[in-house]
Amino acid sequence: MPPLDRRSFLAGAGATALAWPGIAAAQGSGEPDIVVVGAGAAGIAAARRIAAAGRRCVVVEATDRIGGRCSTDTAIFGVPFDRGAHWLYGADINPVVKLAAGTGLDVYAAPPGQRVRIGRRYARESELEDFLAIVVRAHRAITEAARGKADVSCLQALPKDLLDWRASVEFIFGPLLYGKDLRELSAVDVSKAAERDQGAFCRQGVGALIERLAGGVTVRLSTPVTRINTWVRGKVEVETPRGTLVARAAIVTASTGVMAAGKIRFDPELPKRHVDAFARLGLGSQEQVVLELAGNPLGLQRDDLIYEKADGPRSAALLANMGDTPLCMVQLGGRLGRDLAGQGEAALVDYAQEWLAKLYGADIRKAVRRTHATRWSQAPFVMGSASAAAIGGYGARAALAEPVRDRVWFAGEATHETQWGTVAGAWLSGERAAEAAMRKLGYITTPRSAGEPAREAPRKPRSRPAPARPPAPPSWPF
């Protein structure tokens, strides 16, 4: 489990977002070599890799913007804030962080540490040490359970004697990190996740960063794919309400929620192993409520991270004064997040204010100005946050990485076996799928160099005991 340590404008050139009809790819006109479905981190990474090889590529995106689950808004509060992915982990080897250096955007290290609120006060040093020790024990128990003959839920793996910290541990290891309650999470899948340390933030927003990296990529916005046909010999037809694209291959980066719901039809039907994989890698629910708090009434520093000693399953976490702004993000997830999102934005905002008032006093409500809440579980072209394997579903990620008829490849955070649920995992999966497709099609014939297949720097899975810090919050969803 990753350490709970945050060491760990959409301005500038954007993608070539073109209106239909007309396929005037940035790399040249004519039939594209590869069609990429989805303009999130995985799709943009795949398109960049294809373009770098001198091949023609078109990205089709169902929504009206680039970024997918990386979404930055500047209109609501007048300053940029991330509605989706916010954390960039492993900053020293993260491919997105490395690329950010050439964009002119400001990526900075997340400050270390966190604070725990116990009622109306902060945990004393001894209490915080107890909490950290219990979290380490819980993580170690999940890792040990994953070595058994059969997969079990993370809830089954937890030690029985977590005392009055149990509710907090269950919230952090479940709804906060993965968007699901622990009883739904595969211990093997969680144990394989790479450490999410050395966190970083982009001051202009992760969504803005992905859009900047899409510069020069041809993207068809508001163009949902309805059908992918591989019956055509040596070709693939990608159908949309605005016409059909024909190419030699397709890379599909739609979320597992969209795929499991059958929103994209395949002819012939997908192999059962892929269909089962989408079902086993269902999306969790992670929502963010952003509150504008005038005058810093909480007395917190930039990007301060706050947890609570929870007394039940209804809990949350706080990221305060994001990027030196008066914006504070309340993060919640799991069944609670999904239920509140289903009730509407007002229900999410009410819960966030109630939770803050419980910890800091009722007067905190008076400082709240503008508000906003995400509802990713209700978004028709996403339907949740990040993937989290069901019990026994840990092998589904490898299954999704297999091509279909050597003409369709899948990419996205769900296909990365160790960095799933992260922006880096999505990006690397896109590069990997593009590489695999181009090699199969003969577009790349040179021998692979070290690390070339997906440009994946080694990232150790969490098989060793965790350091004495609880896990960091999701980059959410990544």
Closest CA to 249 of 270, 234, 264: 234
d(CA 25, CA 58): 6
Superfamily the domain 1-113+125-283+380-478 falls into: FAD/NAD(P)-binding domain (3.50.50.60)
DSSP per residue over 179-214, as a string? Answer: SS-GGGSBHHHHHHSBP--S-EEETT-HHHHHHHHT
**Contact by Cβ (8 Å): 272, 300:** no
Mind listing the pLDDT tens digit of every residue in the chain (478 residues)? Answer: 333 443 333 333 345 555 333 333 334 457 999 999 999 999 999 999 999 999 999 999 999 999 999 999 999 999 999 999 999 999 999 999 999 999 999 999 999 889 999 999 999 999 999 999 999 999 999 999 999 889 999 999 999 999 999 999 999 999 999 999 999 999 999 999 988 888 999 999 999 999 999 999 999 999 999 999 999 999 999 999 999 999 999 999 999 999 999 999 999 999 999 999 999 999 999 999 999 999 999 999 999 999 999 999 999 999 999 999 999 999 999 999 999 999 999 999 999 999 999 999 999 999 999 999 999 999 999 999 999 999 999 999 999 999 999 999 999 999 999 999 999 999 999 999 999 999 999 999 887 654 444 445 444 444 444 444 455 554 444 4
pTM of the model as a whole: 0.91
Of 239, 287, 285, 286, nearest in space to 263 by CA: 239
* CA pair distance 34, 55, nearest whole angstrom: 8
Buried b vs exposed e over 339-361: b needs ≥16 C-beta within 10 Å? ebbeeebeebbbbbbebbebbbe
